[in-house]
Each structure stands twice: as C-alpha cells, then as structure tokens.
Structure 1
Amino acid sequence: MRTDVVDLCALLIPCAQAVAAGSVMTAQELLKQIKQNASSTGDDTQRLAQCFSKGLEARLAGTGSQLWQLLTAEGPLVIKYLKAYKLYMAACCFNRVALFFNIMTIEHAMAGKSKLHIVDYGPHHGFQWVGLLRWMANRKGGPPEVKITAISRLQPRSCPSEGIEDTGHRLGKCAREFGVPFKYHSITARWETICTDFFKTDADEVLVVTDLFDFGILMDESIYLDRLSPRDTVLNNIRNMRPDVFIQGVVNSSYGTSFLARFREALFYYSALFDMLDATIPRKCKLRSVLEQSMLGHSVLNVIACEGVDLVNHPEKYGQWQVRNQRAGLRQLPLKPNIVKVLKEKVMKDHHKGFFVGEDGRWLLQGWKGRILYAHSTWVAEDAISE
C-alpha cells in the first residue's frame, strides 16, 4: 500500500509551465520528483505520470521529434499490438460501441439493397469489418455484394504497419468463410487528394464513407493559414462523393493554439483513459503495460514533445466538427432511436458503471465518469434527397 501523498498531476502542470518558459532548473527539479514517484506498474496516476514525464523530458532536451520517429520505426510487434488491442476491446466499450453504431447504421442504409461499397479512411487492420461481414452472411434474403476501398495514409503512426494488402487478404478470407461476395481495393495517398476518380462506384450500390477517430491527424488551419486546410478539403471531397451516408467518429478533445493548452487537455483526456484501464484491467497484467506505455505512451510523447508537422494529432470537439462539416456542405442526419436504445442498454448491461452513452442534438456521445471522450454522427450531402 502506498504511504506517500505526492500529487503527481499537481506536479505535472507546473513542470510543463517551467518547460514552456525555458526554466530548465525548475523543470528538471520537478521532473526528478515526478519520476521518483511515477511507475509503469503502479496506480493509474503513477502510470500516467510515467508517460507524461518521458514527453516532458524529451521536450526539455529538444529530442522529441527524433525520439518519436525512432519509436515509430521500431514500434511494438504486430502480434503484441493485436493482443493489446484485444485486451483494450475486452476492457472497455468505446470501440465496441463505435463498431456497433457503424454496423447498425449501414444495416439501415442497406434496406432493400444488394450492393455495398465502403470507403474506409484509416483501415485499423480491418477489425471493424469482420463483424459486418458476419452480419451480412446472416442477412435475410442472402448476403449482398460487399466492396471495401481502404484508404491508408502516408504519415507514420504509432501502431505497427501490417500491410494494407495483408488486411485485405484477412478480410477476404473471412468473407469466404462467411459466404459473402467480397472485393477489396486499397489506396495509399494523402487523404486530401482522394476523390471519386480514385475508385469506381456503381449506380446501384450503397456508398458508405467512414472515419473512425482518424480525421484528427489531418492538418488544420494552424499549419495552413493561407489556404483551405487538408481536413476541410477531405470533407469537401466526401460531399462530392455524395455517399448514402458518411459515418464519423471523433475524439472529443481540443489542443488549442499553445503548448500549455494542449498539455492540459491531453492530461485531462489521458487521465480518464488511464483511470478507466485501472478500473477494468488488473495492475499485474503485462499486456496492460504494453497498451499504456507503448501504444498510449507513444501518442502522449508526440502530443507533448513534438510541434509543427511532427505533431500528428489535432483533435477537435464534436461541436467544432459539426460547424466544419456544415461549412463543407454536409447535412447531419438524426440519430436512430432504436440504435441509441440498443447501445445504451448494451453498455449498462455488459460494462463497468463508469462508462456512459448519451446524446447531444444529433451526436451519440461516449465517455467515462462524466467526461465525454468520443462522439459519433452521420451525414449526407446538403442537397441530398431526404428519406
């Protein structure tokens, strides 16, 4: 049992302030205190401090970008990453709810249709589509034809790079086992260049465009001050695709325009995640350390120690995305009450009481102990015909 009363979060913010101000001696002294009390095997706050202290140390030394690129190149082994991801899926409901929301939305859009084409930004190893293929196999009237266009990105990321073609082979194998007619096409390019010229669409297919928490990597106006930002360009291109539905999942966070604002927001966001993991996974679990220190820790390092084009994530609150989407000529669809009901009941029945699913306007919200962490919505082109 711990006998110390060191408030690590209370030390992290003044340490970040000292780093930002260039007060090297003060920052080093605070970092020393933090590292003495941080631990990758302790409670949630100690584990969080272990990640954040590495980021602050790298920023203070000016080695953030080099260290992040080195860690990106090395990365965890694919098998270890997949095991850690499976642990995460079992421990919390965030991705499960997102996948169920996507599948049930697609199910509704497919009523009476026999062809489905999914344009998927950020394939995530295809995890989200195995469940969909299984549902399609049991669909009344027989499975439809399914085509997935997977859009990968050129930028490095913190998860290991199982080839996008490998993902297609695995999904193809699943589809054959389930008896679902299946085609897979992959594109690796800058996302702002993607338009309908990159892939073939058929007039009789249901076109679904999806983003599962990835558009935050697109650069915003903080980098592109003199022209349309890449994220606005991508949204404009999606509108021009005229999908039957665009399903968007966003990380509900906003880093602001300064390092300190970004640090505070990241501290609040990751504190909730580490608290959630502490409540749902035993502290002695070795894979939990892989999940926290390798996967989440890599993201924390980038948030704290990198700037400019090396800063990978630029998340926005869901209200900001709503304004951005509408400005791009997209119209938000109402949530389906039956989908919301099913998801709320599932979370209450199968998961820790700290999780919640709520609504705000036409957004489905997910969070932990009152803090909104993720939001989901559906969109069509502004001038699309309403049902």
Structure 2
Amino acid sequence: MAEEGNKSSMKGRSKGHQKLWQRKQPRRELVDLGTLLVQCAQAVAEHDHLEASELLKKIRQHSSADGDCTQRLAFYLADGLEARLAGIGSQVYRNLMERRTSTTDWLDACSHFHSSCPFDRTAHYFASQAILGVSQGQPRVHIVDFGIGFGLQWPLMIQRFSQQEEGAPKLRITGIDVPQPGFHPCEMIEETGKRLADYANMFKVPFQYQGIAASRWDTIKIEDLNIDEDEVLIINCMFRMKNLGHETEAVNSRDRVLKTMRRMNPKILILGIVSGLSCSPFFIQRFKEVMFHYSSMFDMLDANFPPPDNKARKMIEKILFGQDALNIIACEGAERTERPESYRQWQARCLKAAFQPLLVDPATLKNIVQMKNKLSHEEFFVVEDRGWLLQGWKGRVLYAISKWEPNETHDDK
C-alpha cells in the first residue's frame, strides 16, 4: 500500500513542473525560462560561448532574485551556468563559502525555514522517537553526529530526555563536521558544543561534548571517538551524506564511511538523505535534475513564506539553495561536494555495508501525518516506502529518512 501511495503522489510530477516553468510573467515578454535554461546548459556543455552568452543575456533579462519563484531560481541557475562557461566554478564557489554570515542571522533564517517547512521538524521527531526507543531505561547514551552543523536537532532531544520518569541519562554527543574556511576552522563545532551544554544545563541533563573537525569522514578513526561499551551508541547523519566527496572506482568514500559506521557497532543508525539524482557524470542530465529539484524548493518557499519573511527567505535561497546549485552545476571532480543520490541508491549502500533496515513505527508515522495535516500546507506529503519515510512537495520526493541496525548474520567488521 505504501508503494501505491507513493506512486499516486508522484503522478502529477511532470505536469506540475511544466506548469511551474511556464507561468505567465506580467508586463514582460512571455518566455519559457525552463527551456531557455536547458538550451543554455546544452550550449555550455558544447563550449558554444556565443550561443550560451546570448541565452544567458536573455535569461538575465527575465530573471530576478526578487521575482516569482521561477524567476528567482533562474537567477541562481544562471550564476552556475555563467561560472561554468567561464571555467571559474570552483573559484566562485570558494568565494561564496568564505563569506561570513552572522550566526544569529543564519539561525534566525533557519528558524523561519523550519517553522514554515516540515522537513527538518519531521526528521528530528522521527530521530528522537527512534533514539528514545533504543535508550529507554539506559543510564548512558552516546550520540555520534556526522554533520552536526549548528546542532539544531538536539535541543528537542535533550528536553525529551529531561522528561523521562526514570530521569535523564548521562548524554554524550560527539559532533563531527568539516572545518570552516578562515582562521578559526573549528569555531562552529566548538560553539555548537557550548550552546548544547548550556541547553543541557538548563534542563539538568548530565552532558558531555566532543567536537571533531574532519575534511574527509572516511579517514575518521574509531579510536578517536572514545566509544565506551557501557553506553548505548547511536549514529546520526542528517542530510549530509550528499557532501561525501569525489567518487572514483578505486575509492568510494560513501561506502567507506558506512563501513566505518558498521564497525562502530551502533545500537541504531539514523540516516536522513536529500533524495536526488544530481550525482550523474553527464552534465545535461545533472542540470535538469537540479532544475527540477530546486524548482520544487523555490515553489515551496513561495507558498509557505509570507511576505514579512522575505529577508529570511532570500538568505535561505541564496546560501542554502543557490550555493548548492552552483556547486553541482559549475564544479567538477573533488571540487563538486554536492552529490545527492536517491533513497533507493542509499538503500543498496546500507545493505552492502551490513546494515539491515528497521520498519517505520506505525505510531510514529501516524503522529507525523497528523502533525503534517495540522501544521503544514496541503501540498506537502509524507509516505512510507520499504522502511524509508519520504517527504516532498507536489509529488516530488525531496527528503528521506530511515533507521538501521547492524546485520549480525552478515558481520563484515
């Protein structure tokens, strides 16, 4: 039934995207920005500078960072095409990444995003239910978070631990993330630890934090994580596996990270992924996937961010969406750090690494659906498919989350 529900929700995908890209633009020449963008991408792929430049000029005339969702997306995709055409994609991307954004402003923008769109809220609830399920009654819990970022997932979890009848366990979080550019590469990881420690202290939850900066997660050594057999070990990785780098036939960093996670022998692995096909080595196929993925994201923001929140919306679109899209479009090799795969591809990877899937708890699914119906726009959907909780907008799957346990019959330590 889940499969049928998923297929049903996906039916209108192509028509929905076609309508999205062919919206009439008042007081301007009627153009199909989607077609122009694909034509431009083809010219860029063929190194036809004259044709690509003419198409870019036309796209610029009909796009704007302040227009409707189609015009805004075209504005950012054009940045990626322009950088690729000039052969400076990696340089442009590095410059964007090195620009400092106020932590307060960024957290405020993220708060607006999370309250308007249910993806993170749902994923965090799913994860907290899974963690509570395996740690009930246990005195010590150790969460290793690959890609902790600002740690926005953990205040709710700390609060839930504090409400347990038997009292809160001793909580240890190991936060892993890539070092930031600049003079203080570990600043974000350390600041996250301080904020979480303050939060745990507020709710009287015994707390310990260890931050690890690692550019390549496949080089992390298990002994550096200080795992204690007396602790319930939980591995969490929320929407960051897409950043695991350059894939080659000889070294597959994603499989290596999953094998490291398996050797850690956790009680549970919670894996959230951005579901997409932007890993393709073929540029045109990759560009079309980016265009359709982000057309859904920009359309979703249009429907869920009221006008007073334009500043927050613009920050999300520029930093979260625009930079990622530029990286996929304009960068190659090791410089391309955005490589989303579909949840079915991750299913195969996890099975290969000797994990076995755990089914979505029916009560958790019911609560998530009820929350979605009560708090979110009707075009958001959430369905279950073979142990994956799928979330999306207007029929397109955008995010997926699942939970896994070590497969003891296929012990590949």
1:327 maps to 352
1:99 maps to 124
1:161/1:199 Cα in 2 relative to 1: closer, same or farther (>3 Å)? Answer: closer
- Rounded to whole Å, the distance in 2 between the matches of 1:300 and 1:162 is 26
**Bigger shift: residues 279-288 or 362-371:** 279-288
- Rounded to whole Å, the distance in 1 between the matches of 2:317 and 2:180 is 22
> Is it true that 1:371 corresponds to 2:396 in the alignment?
yes
Q: Secondary structure at the match of 1:335?
A: coil
| Unaligned residue ranges in structure 1 (runs of 5+) | none
> Is it true that 1:254 corresponds to 2:313 in the alignment?
no
Output the TM-score relative to the length of structure 1: 0.94
Deviation at residue 83 of structure 1 after TM alignment: 1.6
> Is it true that 1:83 corresponds to 2:108 in the alignment?
yes
1:306/1:220 Cα in 2 relative to 1: closer, same or farther (>3 Å)? Answer: closer
Which among 241, 251, 273 is matched to residue 215 of structure 1? 241
1:156/1:370 Cα in 2 relative to 1: closer, same or farther (>3 Å)? Answer: farther
1:17/1:33 Cα in 2 relative to 1: closer, same or farther (>3 Å)? Answer: same
Deviation at residue 87 of structure 1 after TM alignment: 1.3
Contact 1:43 1:283 (C-alpha < 8 Å) held by counterparts = no
> Is it true that 1:115 corresponds to 2:115 in the alignment?
no
- Rounded to whole Å, the distance in 1 between the matches of 2:217 and 2:90 is 23
Contact 2:235 2:270 (C-alpha < 8 Å) held by counterparts = yes
Which among 221, 228, 231 is matched to residue 202 of structure 1? 228
Contact 2:108 2:312 (C-alpha < 8 Å) held by counterparts = yes
Contact 1:41 1:283 (C-alpha < 8 Å) held by counterparts = no
Contact 1:220 1:231 (C-alpha < 8 Å) held by counterparts = no
1:142 maps to 167
1:19/1:264 Cα in 2 relative to 1: closer, same or farther (>3 Å)? Answer: same
1:145/1:355 Cα in 2 relative to 1: closer, same or farther (>3 Å)? Answer: same
- The amino acid of 1:295's aligned partner reads L
1:229 maps to 252
- Rounded to whole Å, the distance in 2 between the matches of 1:43 and 1:167 is 35
Q: Secondary structure at the match of 1:127?
A: coil
- Rounded to whole Å, the distance in 2 between the matches of 1:196 and 1:61 is 42
| Unaligned residue ranges in structure 2 (runs of 5+) | 1-24
Which among 243, 247, 251 is matched to residue 266 of structure 2? 243
1:185 maps to 210
1:145/1:208 Cα in 2 relative to 1: closer, same or farther (>3 Å)? Answer: same
Structural mapping, 1:232-381, within 5 Å? 232-255=255-278, 256-283=280-307, 285-381=310-406
Deviation at residue 259 of structure 1 after TM alignment: 1.1
- Rounded to whole Å, the distance in 1 between the matches of 2:50 and 2:407 is 55
Contact 2:246 2:336 (C-alpha < 8 Å) held by counterparts = no
The CA deviation string for residues 94-118 of structure 1, in whole angstroms up to 9 with x for no partner, is 1111111111110111122121100
Contact 1:151 1:188 (C-alpha < 8 Å) held by counterparts = yes
- Rounded to whole Å, the distance in 1 between the matches of 2:238 and 2:249 is 26
1:6/1:75 Cα in 2 relative to 1: closer, same or farther (>3 Å)? Answer: farther
The CA deviation string for residues 237-270 of structure 1, in whole angstroms up to 9 with x for no partner, is 1111110000000111012121111111111110
Deviation at residue 149 of structure 1 after TM alignment: 0.6
- The amino acid of 1:305's aligned partner reads A
Number of residue-to-residue matches in the alignment: 380
Deviation at residue 289 of structure 1 after TM alignment: 1.3
1:29 maps to 54
- Rounded to whole Å, the distance in 1 between the matches of 2:345 and 2:368 is 24
- The amino acid of 1:274's aligned partner reads F
- Rounded to whole Å, the distance in 2 between the matches of 1:161 and 1:200 is 19
Output the TM-score relative to the length of structure 2: 0.89
Instruction: Calculate percent identity across the aligned residue pairs.
Output: 41
- Rounded to whole Å, the distance in 1 between the matches of 2:124 and 2:349 is 24
- Rounded to whole Å, the distance in 1 between the matches of 2:259 and 2:245 is 15
Contact 2:239 2:272 (C-alpha < 8 Å) held by counterparts = yes
Contact 2:150 2:192 (C-alpha < 8 Å) held by counterparts = yes
- Rounded to whole Å, the distance in 1 between the matches of 2:42 and 2:307 is 31
**Bigger shift: residues 293-302 or 60-69:** 293-302
Deviation at residue 294 of structure 1 after TM alignment: 3.0
The CA deviation string for residues 276-309 of structure 1, in whole angstroms up to 9 with x for no partner, is 0000113562221111123311111111111111
The CA deviation string for residues 127-182 of structure 1, in whole angstroms up to 9 with x for no partner, is 1001100111111111111000111124769xx97521111111000000000000
